Amino acid sequence: MTDVRTAVREATAVLAAAGVPSPAVDAAELAAHLLGVRRGELALPSVAERPVPDAYAGLVEQRAARVPLQHLTGVAWFRHLELHVGPGVFVPRPETEVVAQVAVDAARVLPSPVVVDLGTGSGAIALSVLDEVPHARVHAVEADPLAHAWAARNAAGTALDLRLGDFADAFADLDGTVDVVVSNPPYIPPDAVPVDPEVRDHDPELALYGGGEDGLAALRVVARTAQRLLVPGGLFVAEHADTQGESAVAALRGAGGWVRVAAHRDLADRPRFVTARRAGAHSEEDSP
């Protein structure tokens, strides 16, 4: 019977041949998932020399067919959280962690922050804010019933106010009371189908395609909702594609009602998100 060390080595070759971007990591993660250990523990002789579970070959075959790793393990890591994910919900990406960081930092310095996440998906951003700023009141909305169900599972036992609905008219009861609105809206233009099969074939279309010729129709809707929700000087943070840095800023400036509109880059130095403050009393003096 094949031991874990050998099986992972062979699986790495299979995944590499299939074009999986991180074959060694994925092969190891699948083995660790089945064995109930952390990936780093696979190097221990007591683990590496064990027989590989029978289910391993099937998981490797599915990953080679470009089923997302997170769908096979059932979890995705986001900042300090382990989130339940699977078919029907957008798998959170590492680049979104910098967007969440801005919301966390803005909320952390306020005595009683109110934060809203528009289009929460798995709940990644909202739950990160709640986890890292426990004194915050955090609200989130998701329109897709399947994604909402995943978010509800992740939010179980927390104080997150999670609602099912369209972010265009969400939270009328919070108008003018919110300190931070954060969103990772859909933003892919209709003619820019993702190359990666994991995204193209498995992430829900509602979470991908932003609408309009430039893909920013959803961002414009989110921005209008943010204007309604925020207190004067309140912070708006929204993710966009790495090709939309200038157009996202232009969209907010063209809408009016915003000050301190600024573009920001992610850790890979790619345009990633825009921030703005709602115009109003003292808003121009607020920090970005």
Per-residue H/E/C for the chain: CCEHHHHHHHHHHHHHHCCCCCHHHHHHHHHHHHHCCCHHHHHCHHHHCCECCCCHHHHHHHHHCCCCHHHHHCEEEECCEEEECCCCCCCCCCCHHHHHHHHHHHHHCCCCCEEEEECCCCCHHHHHHHHHCCCCEEEEEECCHHHHHHHHHHHCCCCCEEEECCCCCCCHHHCCCEEEEEECCCCECCCCCCCCHHHHCCCCHHHCECCCCCCCHHHHHHHHHHHHHEEEEEEEEEECCCCCHHHHHHHHHHHCCEEEEEEEECCCCCEEEEEEEECCCCHHHCCC
Active-site residue among 23, 113, 185, 189?
185
Residue 171: active-site member: no
* 95 marked as part of a ligand binding site: no
* pTM of this structure: 0.90
Q: Which fold has domain 78-82+88-285?
A: Rossmann fold (3.40.50)
The response to whether 29 counts as a known ligand-binding position is: no
Is 154 one of the annotated active-site residues of the chain?
no
- Is 142 annotated in a binding site? The answer is yes
At residue 245 the predicted structure's pLDDT band, cuts being 50, 70 and 90, is confident
Catalytic residue chosen out of the listed positions 23, 68, 78, 90? 90
Least confident segment among 37-46, 202-211, 277-286: 277-286
Question: What does the domain layout of the chain look like in residue ranges?
Answer: 4-65, 78-82+88-285
pLDDT average, residue stretch 173-195: 88
- Reply yes or no on whether the pLDDT at 190 is more than 90: no
Q: Which of 92, 113, 154, 184 is catalytic?
A: 184
